[in-house]
Amino acid sequence: MTASMQSSVGNPGAEKRGMNLTLRIWRQQGPTAKGKMVTYKITDISPDMSFLEMLDVLNEQLILQGDDPVAFDHDCREGICGMCGVMINGQAHGPQQTTTCQLHMRSFKDGDSIDIEPWRASPFPVIKDLAVDRRAFDRIIQAGGYISVPTGTAPDAHATPVPKADSDAAFDAATCIGCGACVAACPNASSMLFTAAKVTHLGLMPQGQPERNDRVVNMIAQQDREGFGGCTNIGECSAACPKGISMETISRLNHDLLGALRAGARPKS
Amino acid sequence: MPLELFTTGEPIADTKAPTDVPIGERWSERQFRGRLVNPANRRKMTIIVVGTGLAGGSAAATLGEAGYKVKSFWYQDSPRRAHSVAAQGGINAAKNYRNDGDSVHRLFYDTVKGGDFRARENNVHRLAEVSVNIIDQAVAQGVPFAREYGGLLDNRSFGGTQVSRTFYARGQTGQQLLYGAYQALERQIAAGTVEQNARTEMLDLIIVDGRARGIVARDLVTGEISTHFADAVVIASGGYSNVFYLSTNAKGSNTTAIWRAHKRGAYFANPCYTQIHPTCIPVKGDYQSKLTLMSESLRNDGRVWVPKERGDDRPANDIPEDERDYYLERLYPAFGNLVPRDIASRQAKNVCDEGRGVGPGGLGVYLDFAEAIERLGRPAVEAKYGNLFDMYAQITGEDPYVTPMRIFPAVHYTMGGLWVDYDLQSTIPGMFVIGEANFSDHGANRLGASALMQGLADGYFVLPSTISSYLADGPFEKVDESHPAAVEALQGVQEQTQKLLNINGTRTPASFHRELGQLMWDLCGMERTDEGLRKAIDRIREIRQEFWSNLKVGGDWHSFNQTLEHAGRVADFIELGELMCVDALHRRESCGGHFRAESQTPEGEALRDDENFAYVAAWEWTPEGQAPVLHKENLEYEYVHLAQRSYK
């Protein structure tokens, strides 16, 4: 396909559901291939469809035409697995603060033009089209995003009471789904909100205290190694986060980091 | 029953549970009698674990901690995506923190009864015993369960039980428990005990000298199909609800790992036992790609109703009180809107069949919070259910504070799965099956908040203990890709993959999947009949034939090809669908989620036939053209009194 090629798909004979749209979608064969925007016209889109169902309709038609369908990641389609996520008209997950799978076509109107692109950050290389590799996030968790408690070694669950306010705040941070919208939205491609969410979750729980200092220095060192940018407190991350992880987590991380460094904690090399 | 649909073989039985001691001592006795592998030898043993949900993630982490070499496989980009993440409600445990009379024995009893007396007593008792350790483990990992102001854990009553034994983390309990297991797993990956295989799908099992010794898997990014070897294989690939196309499962959830293992000799038990959840958001149109569940906690305050008159299409708020039928409250005065899932689902179907359903296509019933908002005030309703109401509004574009929600049942969980013994070992030595992928604990109906419990019980505590008895004979003779069994399996997968690409017909995998799903929903769904099931079997055979002659998959297999992934999964769903219908047809009784129209009480409730059907149906695969073979595992109840369930 060429950038100027227009591929018109649709089902002209079917009952009209409403919207005709122009999609401009990033197509890229593989990690090292050169990508480009390709334009598609799509007709007969119901406002009740989810954004991904709209892409399903496009792909069904592309397959039948013998064209390569658009690769995109998705799984649970109920906003919790964190697998989906694309830039829609330049916004991570589109115009609403939700996951791409929970965005519905009623957020658009007939005749709209929609640009669809993958997350753009060098630590998230494109696999194909809109699908990117986010394993850098797993490696940040590997660096310390856990409490070391081998199975079978736990004391009774009521042995350590946890103040409700701490537990609730820990929960709020722990709802991060690891989708990567924060990185995609950040002008610096920083992963600070992702890392801060985990540091906050575990740092608020009494069970997380023994490893608190090492955790923060090692997770920060790993996100630097992965090539994520530095945090300059712009706040685009939190504004794009479908789970509303707050900027306070970043303040908490910075506080923990300073405390850890003062206490002599240093990252493992 | 015509001979051609199935034949009956030798009975099958579990031989591992020590039944010579009382039930409360059997698990510790089994652990004592089982053999151990000493820590130095564990380093020489390799275990493959397929899947990273609650069962697979916790098992891989625990086996890694124990010192085994683990190879973990998952099809998503990260192990944190596994569909356990979507479980909302909670996890049961017999902690008796409420001092309300709960105990291991009561949880055991409730689970066997809830399963409509089609589960194995020994396994369920062990599940109840282990449940308390799961909570301890999760709390130590930092899982932020709901707490009270005193700092102790909160509990709630769930799924019609009379005690409060459910631990929860708002409406995201599965997510938080999964992240606990995921973080433990990532810790082991960092420690080098677990090898990670992301975006890799198991496509066959390799058996050498009668033992499971490896798998064939496809790297979904590069397309490379390769062999992987181990001393034992653990399958934790979840359930098969997506045979219905529309379900609450993730789009990628599939039966391929367990189905290919079944075709290699693992018996498939009770495939027809599916759970249909009553409170899901109804289908909107033919483009629908999945169904979304709303936690059944909504039924604590919402009232279910339909118009009394059929075809009444007035907006809900224009229908006066005396023209509404609150049918669950009418039919079940004692339990009302809180009847178990299978009953609530079937009654929704009944009123819709009568033409009294609401919304598009008449496939929905109202779940109305007007009374609760009046009684408790809107802020209280918001505090309890705010996130669910928001989710509903996001998907439907309607405001449930103003207009009643519309709900309809959807397939949610499969109680059937690969047959396992007390050690969770399948009929193939060296292949273990854990979590939803096995059949063992829920009988014909799973109770709310029991899926998370079983997944983690199997993964953290049961399997890591029982697998050592098997591995005590190992390490087994080294096998590599040049072994004839590996060569044969690899070639078989490559040939099938190429075959899918070569057909080049006119229908997409999704089109076949939708057709199969609709057929299963209509004829093997909430109500099943002899006539309907026979029709379904005939039709599935036609679909299968058309699939293999008219499928269209573009591209090749040496690259990232999501259409090809889907095609392979649909091929397996078609074969599984046929076996589900055969199983449903042969079980001429109603039990739990399996409702045969021919077997009901005069009041229209499920009627079991304990005399003829108190057994597990374990199916042996036979080559195409031959009927599957039924092996019965007789179910004996020593501790639970068989009774007709009643929620009147």
Considering the domain boundaries, does residue B77 fall inside one? no
Contacts of B149 in chain A (CB under 8 A): 164
The b-or-e profile of A210-235 (16+ CB within 10 A means b, else e) is ebbbbbbbbbbbbbeebebbebeeee
CA distance A147 to B455: 21
Tell if the CB–CB gap between B151 and A163 is shorter than 8 Å.
yes
B227 DSSP β-pair partners: B216
Q: What is the pLDDT of residue B343?
A: 86
Range of the domain at B284: 277-412
Q: How far is B522 from chain A (nearest CA, A)?
A: 23
Q: What is the pLDDT of residue A17?
A: 64
Higher pLDDT, A14 or B53: B53
B544 has catalytic annotation: no
Residue with tokens 């890709």: B481
Question: Domain tally for chain B?
Answer: 1
- Residue B286 DSSP label: T
Beta-carbon count within 10 A of B261 CB: 29
CATH (one of 1.10.1060.10, 2.20.28.10, 1.10.760.10, 1.50.10.10) for A134-151+161-262: 1.10.1060.10
Considering the domain boundaries, does residue B308 fall inside one? yes
Residue in A closest to B507 by C-alpha:
A64
Which band of pLDDT confidence, cut at 50, 70 and 90, is reported for residue A3? very low
Residue A152 has pLDDT above 70, yes or no: yes
CA distance A189 to B117: 55
Q: What is the pLDDT of residue B140?
A: 98
Q: What is the pLDDT of residue A6?
A: 39
Contacts of B138 in chain A (CB under 8 A): 157
For chain B, list residues with pLDDT below 50: 1
List, for residues A182-214, the tens digit of each pLDDT value.
999 999 999 999 999 999 999 999 999 999 999
Collapsed DSSP state (helix, strand, coil) of residue B640: coil
Q: What is the pLDDT of residue B383?
A: 83
Tell if the CB–CB gap between A154 and B137 is shorter than 8 Å.
yes
Q: How far is A214 from chain B (nearest CA, A)?
A: 14
Cis-peptide, bond into residue B22, ω within 30° of zero: no
Tell if the CB–CB gap between A161 and B395 is shorter than 8 Å.
no
Residue in B closest to A74 by C-alpha:
B251
Alpha-carbon distances, residue B559 vs A130, B220, B365, B504, B556 (angstroms): 15, 7, 45, 18, 7
Considering the domain boundaries, does residue B349 fall inside one? yes
Residues of chain A with CATH 3.10.20.30: 6-127
List, for residues A16-74, the tens digit of each pLDDT value.
468 999 999 999 999 999 999 999 999 999 999 999 999 999 999 999 999 999 999 99
In chain A, % of residues over pLDDT 90: 93
CA distance A157 to A211: 19
Q: What is the pLDDT of residue B160?
A: 67
Residue A99 has pLDDT above 60, yes or no: yes
Q: How far is A32 from chain B (nearest CA, A)?
A: 13
Considering the domain boundaries, does residue B381 fall inside one? yes
CATH of the domain at B327: 3.90.700.10
Q: What is the pLDDT of residue B212?
A: 98
Residue in A closest to B562 by C-alpha:
A71
CA distance B316 to A68: 45
Q: What is the pLDDT of residue B600?
A: 94
Residues of chain A with CATH 1.10.1060.10: 134-151+161-262
The CATH number of A6-127 is 3.10.20.30
* CB-based contact, A135 to chain B, within 8 Å: yes
Q: How far is A28 from chain B (nearest CA, A)?
A: 12
Tell if the CB–CB gap between B250 and A80 is shorter than 8 Å.
no
List, for residues B458-506, the tens digit of each pLDDT value.
999 999 999 999 999 999 999 999 999 999 999 999 999 999 999 999 9
The mean of the pLDDT values for chain A is: 94
Tell if the CB–CB gap between B560 and A127 is shorter than 8 Å.
yes
Q: What is the pLDDT of residue B361?
A: 86
Q: Is the pTM of this model over 0.90?
A: yes
Q: What is the pLDDT of residue B162?
A: 83
Considering the domain boundaries, does residue B464 fall inside one? no
* CB-based contact, A158 to chain B, within 8 Å: yes
* Alpha helices in B524-561, H assignment, sequence order: 530-550
A70-90 mean pLDDT: 98
